[in-house]
Every structure is written in C-alpha cells, then in structure tokens.
Amino acid sequence: MAQFPALPPIAIAPGDWTKLFQHLRVMATTVNRMLQGKLNATLNVTLDDFEAMLFDDETPMLFDDGTVMAFDSNSSGTVIEDARLTSTGAGVFDPMTANAAAELGAGTLYVTSANRRDGRWTTTHAANGQADRTFRLIMVG
C-alpha cells in the first residue's frame, strides 16, 4: 500500500526559504502521485479462519501496513478496522482469488449502512470455511 508522507505544520523563520521549499516539494510529490492514481485508498481483506485466535478473546490482528482486522470464515461477518474507513464512505471489493470472485458474484459480501462506522466496518459474507477469499478493498469518502 502506498503511504503518503505526513505533512506536519511547519514554522518558518523569516528568510528560511529552504524549509519552505522542502515542504512544497513534499506537497508537489504527493499531488503528482495522486494524479497518477496513487490515492492511498486500498487495503487487503481476507475472509479467513482465525476464529480460535481472534473471536474467542476478541483480540484483533495488526498487520504491517497498520490495518487491524478480525476474521472468521465460519461466521457470517468480518471486522475491518482502518482509520480511512468512514461511516459515509463507499467501498469496492476487488476479488483476488477464485473463491473471492465467487463470493462477490453470489452477492453475499456487503457492508450495511448500520455496520459502517468511522474507522470500523463489519462485513456480511457467507459462512463456508473457505480460507482464500482475498479482496482488495478500495475506500472512498
């Protein structure tokens, strides 16, 4: 996942043009990446069987990219936690495996309005135990 550099507020002393130009360079790089479609709006989601590890004690799993997810392919829901998720946002699930495509084609993967909260969405999906239903989630809004 492409991460944009954080742009902290800067204090520029009069005549300190170097710091200003560095800040503008980071901003220009970010805008140019956005124009190339690098919007920092995707994350990977796998409907996998981690029931014993996650759902018994409600402990989520933290991934290297900062995404937090709790999975259970034998239940009918998956919790996705990411700061970029919003209650008014939209998501597109892009299937990355054949079983994921079948899940999407069957119409059994969705997120209701009631299950969309800022930073946390709960998906609804088929409870079938397939461990390779992998999607790339595109988030907007």
Q: Quote the pLDDT of residue 71.
A: 47
Q: Are 127 and 76 in contact (CB under 8 A)?
A: yes
pLDDT above 60: residue 32: yes
**Residue type, position 50, single letter:** F
Residue 58: is its pLDDT beyond 60? no
Closest CA to 43 of 134, 118, 137: 137
What average pLDDT does this structure show over 67-83? 68
Question: In angstroms, rounded to a whole number, what is the distance separating the alpha carbons of residues 36 and 6?
Answer: 19
Beta-carbon neighbour count of residue 41 at 10 Å? 18
The two counts, helices (H) then strands (E), for the chain are: 2, 8
For residue 67, give the nearest of 86, 78, 80 by alpha carbon: 80
Mean pLDDT of 60-84: 64
Nearest 5°: phi and psi at 67?
A: -75, 140
What does the block give as tokens for 86? 């919003």
Q: Could you state, in order of their start, the residue ranges of all structural domains in the chain?
A: 1-40, 42-140
Tell me which DSSP letter residue 98 carries.
H
Residue corresponding to tokens 């014993």: 52
Mean pLDDT of 16-35: 88
Query: DSSP alpha helices (H): ranges in 8-97?
Result: 17-35
Q: Is the pLDDT of residue 101 over 90?
A: yes
Over range 52-69, report the average pLDDT: 46
